[in-house]
Chains A and B, each alone.
Chain A
């Protein structure tokens, strides 16, 4: 069993829909990261959180430490949100990231 599991693997939605991507982890962590990767490879860090909820524009990330679960939500989705979204965790005293397998999101106009 992988330390970090994401679901779904692929998600196709219509423009404007509310999107949820889930991430579960099995180890103790110091922080959970949500990353975005566009075609071409570049990775952008969207959120780093260790508790509660963070919001940036149309993106919201939540984490439940007790349940070892995090969700990434996108409100009013847009075709430019099409990308691979990757969940990753880091452990105490360690910069090493352990990654989920990613969720490929496609938003259709």
Chain B
């Protein structure tokens, strides 16, 4: 089976712009979680989608949003980018019933200038 894929791998944006990141889970996996990793805060949970519904949400401002499509692919969007949004954004997929091992994608490295 192909692994979790994320596009793009690298992205440079300017403050105030918006960005959309994409995640394709392992075939058959219905849950996609998103995480942000920064040197200062480490890894933090953004949100999780299952069957096109947001099932869990972390403590991030409303500028961070996401969605999931019927084929389980997921996108996350960040509007009005700030310098502090520069980070590695990782997604992970699982079959969807709870407490499964998570399979991580390679990440999208976002730089906001």
Contacts and interface: CB of A to CB of B under 8 A. Distances in A.
Interface of A: 30-31, 33, 35, 40-45, 48, 50, 86, 88, 90, 92-102
A43 B90 CA distance: 9
A95 B102 contact: yes
Majority-rule SS of B interface residues: strand
A42 B43 contact: no
Nearest to A47: B101
Nearest to A90: B99
Contact of A41 (B55, B88, B94, B102): B88
9 contacts: A42-B104, A42-B106, A43-B104, A45-B101, A88-B43, A95-B56, A96-B45, A97-B33, A97-B43
Contacts of B100: 48, 95
Contact of A96 (B33, B37, B88, B90): B33
Nearest to B103: A45
Contacts of A96: 33, 45, 48, 56, 58
Nearest to A98: B45
B109 A41 contact: yes
Nearest to B109: A41
Contacts of A101: 42
Contacts of A30: 98-99
A44 B104 contact: yes
